[in-house]
Amino acid sequence: MTEAFDLDALRGKIAGLMGQAKKDLTELVALKSVADPRQFPAEGCERTARWVADAFTAAGLTEVGLHETPDGSKAVIGHRPGPPGTPTVLLYCHYDVQPPLDDAAWKTPVWTLTEKDGRWYGRGAADCKGNIVTHLTALRAIGPDFPIGIKVVSEGSEEQGTGGLERFVVANPELLSADVILVADCGNFAVGVPTFTQTLRGNVNVVVTLETMRGPMHSGMFGGPAPDALAAMIQLLASLRDKDGNTTIDGLTDDQKWTGVQYPVEDFRADAGVLDGVDLLGSGTVSDMVWARPALTVLGMDVPAVVGSSAAIQPTSRARLNLRIPPGTEPEQALDLLEKHLRAHVPWNARLDIEVEALGEPFVASEHGPARSALEQAMATSYGRAVTTEGQGGSIPLCNVFADTYPQAEIMLIGVEEPKCLIHAPNESVDPSEIEHMALAEALFLSSYR
């Protein structure tokens, strides 16, 4: 059998499995697996976990079970050992979904997979049930006698951020140990453009409080010399950006370059809903700014609301800050620089208090190992074009846990969640061609990697 014949056969097999994939996704989307019992009965997650366990069992995994994690959610974990001496690949996905948010904003029923203009709509169709179905399709195409060891983990509370699986992995490292970990909770840069998500930004969250007077004072009688805490905060926060909008924290590098895919300005403007005539921020490219450089956002401020405010000078002010940091910057180091900057720039000797809320590590996926080469080749073959890399502005803490727990493993981030999917928003959808192409890439990888 020539390689070309193998490829055509596999491509045909995957195409033939797409009807089953759609049926699976229809069943999965109908299961309301929002992992928050205050919003949806816990039964939805229970039934989904069992569905996922049954499906992976049918696809050839042998030791499949539901494991309770420290936040009460259940992770579905399965394994089929490979022939002696072969490596093990862990396939990650999650079966819980975001709530519908604004029901009225959905143009199709939230929990009914609905085909429209070639896409499949429904909550979780992409994030992450589309990735569950992609794993299943790949395994069906090449199984059940896999040439290497296969493990699967499907997390039950990813969207809640309660970290159940993160703590479970640390407590049970042997269950999920693998040579390669494919975290399928990302997606291509665009439909048809095979893409690795190469980096995730970390973050530093702090609450800053300024105090200047014992109480609010009349702005007519005292305005002028009275140290206005709100004016002090405005001045302090303004020191965190230059006139072009670059984030400027004394000592923190802010001129990094992104070497992967370039995010076109017009696409970014449309994706971010930027109004005509309003500038984008920063002196780098869009990719530099969103994936390679630090970015500070003021998340909230305690100030008097416009309606109900009076002619008074404010004695205190508070702001909640979120600093996103790229790989290469440690959160402790970024926090230290941010604190020093705030102390150096606070005007008028206002009393400053900084409360640290959270620190998150940035993440870099494996770039140069044998599995990365094999998967890159498989994706290029499946899509018929070269593979590129993008970053992700947010973080996936589980990736850092995997990297710390399995330092030898090659960890890669892929999936079917391209930008048109509108994950987390109303009218989530998936492009079935992405499921088909990614399933083929995964099947090629699992059959070629040794």
Which residues are catalytic, by number? 96, 158
Shortest distance (Å) from residue 379 CB to Zn ion: 20
Terminal Cα-to-Cα distance of the chain (whole angstroms): 19
Shortest distance (Å) from residue 110 CB to Zn ion: 17
β-strand partners of 356: 206
Q: Which stretch binds Zn ion (CB under 5 A): 111-119, 177-185, 275-283, 434-442?
A: 177-185
Output the CA angle 400-401-403, nearest 5 degrees.
60
Nearer to Zn ion, 410 or 428 (CB): 428
Size of the site for Zn ion (CB under 5 A): 3
Q: Identify the three-state secondary structure at position 220.
A: helix
Q: In whole angstroms, what separates CA 147 from the centre of its chain?
A: 31
Identify each DSSP E strand in 201-245 by its residue range.
202-211, 217-218
Nearer to Zn ion, 288 or 418 (CB): 418
Shortest distance (Å) from residue 430 CB to Zn ion: 12
Q: Is-contact 240 281, C-beta < 8 A? A: no
Q: Identify the three-state secondary structure at position 53.
A: helix
Interface of this chain with Zn ion, residues 10 to 49, rule: CB under 5 A: none
Q: What is the pattern of x (binds Zn ion, CB under 5 A) and - over residues 207-246?
A: ----------------------------------------
Nearer to Zn ion, 132 or 338 (CB): 132
Q: What is the pattern of x (binds Zn ion, CB under 5 A) and - over residues 262-301?
A: ----------------------------------------
The token pair that represents 257 in the structure block? 């370059």
Nearer to Zn ion, 149 or 415 (CB): 415
Helices (H) and strands (E) in the chain, counts: 14, 18
Q: What is the pattern of x (binds Zn ion, CB under 5 A) and - over residues 343-382?
A: ----------------------------------------
Shortest distance (Å) from residue 111 CB to Zn ion: 17
Residue type, 65: G
Residue type, 162: T
Distance CA 1, CA 10 (A): 13
Identify whether 87 is preceded by a cis peptide bond (ω within 30 of 0): no
Q: Is-contact 75 168, C-beta < 8 A? A: yes
Shortest distance (Å) from residue 446 CB to Zn ion: 22
Nearer to Zn ion, 127 or 376 (CB): 127
Burial 66-82 (b: 16+ CB within 10 A, else e): ebebebebbbbbbbbeb
Interface of this chain with Zn ion, residues 103 to 142, rule: CB under 5 A: 127-128
Nearer to Zn ion, 129 or 324 (CB): 129
Distance CA 319, CA 300 (A): 6
What element of type H or E holds 379? helix 370-383
Shortest distance (Å) from residue 63 CB to Zn ion: 25
The token pair that represents 167 in the structure block? 């703590």
Nearer to Zn ion, 155 or 410 (CB): 155
Nearer to Zn ion, 160 or 177 (CB): 160
Interface of this chain with Zn ion, residues 178 to 197, rule: CB under 5 A: 185
Q: What is the pattern of x (binds Zn ion, CB under 5 A) and - over residues 306-345?
A: ----------------------------------------
φ/ψ of 89, rounded to 5, equals -110, 130
Shortest distance (Å) from residue 413 CB to Zn ion: 11
φ/ψ of 11, rounded to 5, equals -60, -45
Distance CA 396, CA 412 (A): 12
Shortest distance (Å) from residue 156 CB to Zn ion: 12
Residue 258 CB: number of other CB atoms within 10 A? 23
Verify binding: residue 442, Zn ion, rule CB under 5 A. Answer: no
Question: Which chain residues interact with Zn ion by CB under 5 A?
Answer: 127-128, 185
